[in-house]
């Protein structure tokens, strides 16, 4: 047997056939469950999106059923909060979410119920941590609300349908994205025949890193540090010269602007048209333009454009979420994709077990 190829970071390696989403990095196209992301965000509900991803492997998951059962599961997850020990006291939102979700037990024999359970709990725990962060007590769910609207209200107290729609667009946009690091993590764990909660806890850990889902908070910090469009060039030049990465720029797969950046930028513009303040939009656009130009000069052969995190930061900020919650909100959307991939991986029944090349000393 020939020696297997070694690809650092598994770049270009296909590890699964998937019916869930396709990322075309050259053309900047993202297809989720058969539709372009541009045709999903702002047009379908979170529950409908969950149905489209989950029904590929779990036929009984109608959008109405998902909505009803998600509402009930949010209430049950809220009732669990007193049993979570000090999980929600963690300083970091993702540490809190990881610890809180790890308290869950898979509920019942049906995978659909398990998907609903971890999805509901992720939203409730993220919002509860945000409420505590702001000095309040966790706000109880409203079982009759849509999942996006309810997370927004529980986390910020905001009831505006326009803002809820903006947040729903966000959750739909980030729901799935090929074999990204957290999804791969979830699939590796699922491939060992472990349980869904373990897969999701592992995925949260992978998502936390700033090279994956931890970038939007730092994007906002960068915008704050720059302050005015006129300062963008000087600030960004200094960062690049110091060898630091510009958060929200660059992507492993995309060689053009991430299509999700455009979708989320549109969602911010929609808020603006509805009279909702979008304090950092103009500055963000200016910074993006300057960063793109400087990175093009520095890496002429490696296009580095805005990724999803860049406008995530601007959108979630305009919706009133605290920046320390941004990565947890990413998890609230991506958990739907993780669940779908876990089901897909289980259907293959194949353990994921690559190899390493030993480069250490050998016994003489
Ligand atoms: N700012 C400055 N330089 C960057 C950069 C960025 N955001 N992203 C990549 N580069 C540089 C790298 O330093 C590297 O330079 P070198 O060849 O001189 O060492 C070159 O571009 C190629 O990058 P590479 O390490 O191959 O990219 P990758 O595919 O491993 O990285 C990311 C992809 C997303 C991890 C990377 O672009 C990044 O760190 N972005 C910032 C964090 C971020 O926004 N994360 C959210 C991702 S959705």
Nearest CA to ligand 1 atom 12: 245
Q: Which pLDDT score, from 0 to 100, does residue 3 have?
A: 61
Strand partners, 194: none
Q: For residue 27, what are its two tokens? A: 């053309």
Q: Which pLDDT score, from 0 to 100, does residue 345 have?
A: 96
Q: Which pLDDT score, from 0 to 100, does residue 279 have?
A: 85
Residues 364, 362: Cα–Cα separation, whole Å: 6
Residues 316, 294: Cα–Cα separation, whole Å: 26
Ligand 1 pocket mutation, candidates 212, 250, 291, criterion most atoms within 8 A of CB: 250
- Please identify which of the residues 212, 309, 341, 344 carries the catalytic annotation: 309
pTM for this prediction: 0.95
Q: Which pLDDT score, from 0 to 100, does residue 216 have?
A: 86
Centre of ligand 1 from the C-alpha of residue 213, in Å: 14
Centre of ligand 1 from the C-alpha of residue 293, in Å: 15
Q: In 3D, which of 320, 297, 334, 361 has the Cα closest to residue 101?
A: 334
Active site residue 309: yes
Q: Which pLDDT score, from 0 to 100, does residue 206 have?
A: 98
Strand partners, 200: none
Handedness of CA 268, 274, 280, 283 (dihedral sign): positive
Alpha helix positions (H), 55-180: 63-80, 93-101, 111-133, 147-156, 161-173
Q: Which atom of ligand 1 is nearest to the CA of 245?
A: 1
Q: Which pLDDT score, from 0 to 100, does residue 272 have?
A: 95
Q: For residue 325, what are its two tokens? A: 């919650």
- Please identify which of the residues 251, 288, 341, 344 carries the catalytic annotation: 251
Q: Is 219 in the pocket of ligand 1 (CB under 6 A)?
A: no
**Residue ranges in the chain modelled with pLDDT below 50:** 1
Q: Is 245 in the pocket of ligand 1 (CB under 6 A)?
A: yes
Residues 51, 172: Cα–Cα separation, whole Å: 12
Nearest CA to ligand 1 atom 17: 299
Residue whose entry in the numeric block shows the structure tokens 């994956």 = 212
Q: Which pLDDT score, from 0 to 100, does residue 74 have?
A: 98
Q: Is 248 in the pocket of ligand 1 (CB under 6 A)?
A: yes
Q: Which pLDDT score, from 0 to 100, does residue 107 have?
A: 59
Ligand 1 pocket mutation, candidates 245, 263, 296, criterion most atoms within 8 A of CB: 245
Nearest CA to ligand 1 atom 8: 250
- Percent of the chain predicted with pLDDT > 90: 90
Please check whether residue 154 is in contact with residue 146, taking contact to mean a CB–CB distance below 8 angstroms: no
- Residues 251-283 as b/e (b if ≥16 CB within 10 A, e otherwise) read bbbbeebbbbbbbbbebbebbeeeebebebbeb
Phi, psi of 130 (to 5 degrees): -65, -40
Around 162, how many Cα atoms within 13 Å sit in the side-chain half-sphere? 14
Residues 302, 307: Cα–Cα separation, whole Å: 14
Centre of ligand 1 from the C-alpha of residue 285, in Å: 20
Predicted confidence (pLDDT) per residue in 154-208, tens digit? 999 999 999 999 999 999 999 999 999 999 999 999 999 999 999 999 999 999 9
């Amino acid at each position: 047997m020939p020696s297997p190829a070694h690809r650092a970071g598994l770049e270009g390696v296909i590890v699964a056939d998937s019916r869930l989403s396709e990322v075309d990095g050259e053309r900047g196209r993202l297809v989720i469950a058969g539709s372009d992301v541009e045709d999903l965000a702002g047009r379908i509900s979170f529950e409908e999106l969950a149905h489209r991803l989950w029904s590929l492997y779990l036929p009984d998951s109608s959008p109405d059923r998902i909505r009803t059962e998600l509402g009930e599961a949010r209430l049950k997850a809220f009732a669990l909060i007193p049993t979570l020990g000090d999980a929600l006291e963690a300083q970091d939102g993702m540490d809190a979410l990881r610890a809180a979700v790890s308290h869950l037990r898979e509920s019942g024999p049906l995978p659909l119920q398990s998907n609903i359970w971890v999805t509901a709990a992720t939203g409730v725990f993220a919002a509860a941590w945000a409420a505590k962060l702001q000095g309040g007590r966790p706000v109880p769910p409203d079982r009759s609300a849509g999942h996006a609207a309810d997370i927004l209200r529980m986390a910020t107290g905001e009831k505006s349908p326009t803002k809820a729609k903006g947040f729903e667009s966000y959750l739909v946009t980030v729901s799935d994205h090929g074999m990204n690091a957290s999804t791969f993590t979830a699939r590796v764990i699922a491939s060992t025949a472990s349980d869904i909660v373990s897969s999701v806890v592992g995925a949260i850990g992978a998502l936390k890193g700033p090279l994956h889902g931890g970038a939007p908070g730092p994007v906002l910090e960068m915008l704050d540090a720059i302050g005015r469009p006129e300062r963008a060039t000087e600030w960004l030049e200094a960062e690049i010269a110091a060898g630091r990465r510009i958060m929200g720029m660059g992507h492993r797969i995309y060689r053009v602007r991430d299509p999700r950046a455009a979708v989320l930028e549109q969602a911010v513009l929609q808020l603006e048209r509805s009279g909702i303040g979008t304090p950092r939009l103009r500055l963000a656009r200016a910074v993006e333009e300057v960063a793109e130009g400087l990175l093009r000069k520095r890496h002429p052969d490696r296009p580095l454009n805005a990724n999803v995190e860049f406008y995530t930061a601007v959108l979630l900020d305009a919706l009133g979420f605290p920046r320390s919650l941004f990565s947890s909100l990413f998890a609230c959307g991506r958990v739907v994709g993780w669940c779908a991939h876990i089901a897909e991986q289980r259907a293959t029944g194949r353990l994921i077990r690559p190899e390493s090349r030993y480069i250490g000393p050998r016994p003489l």
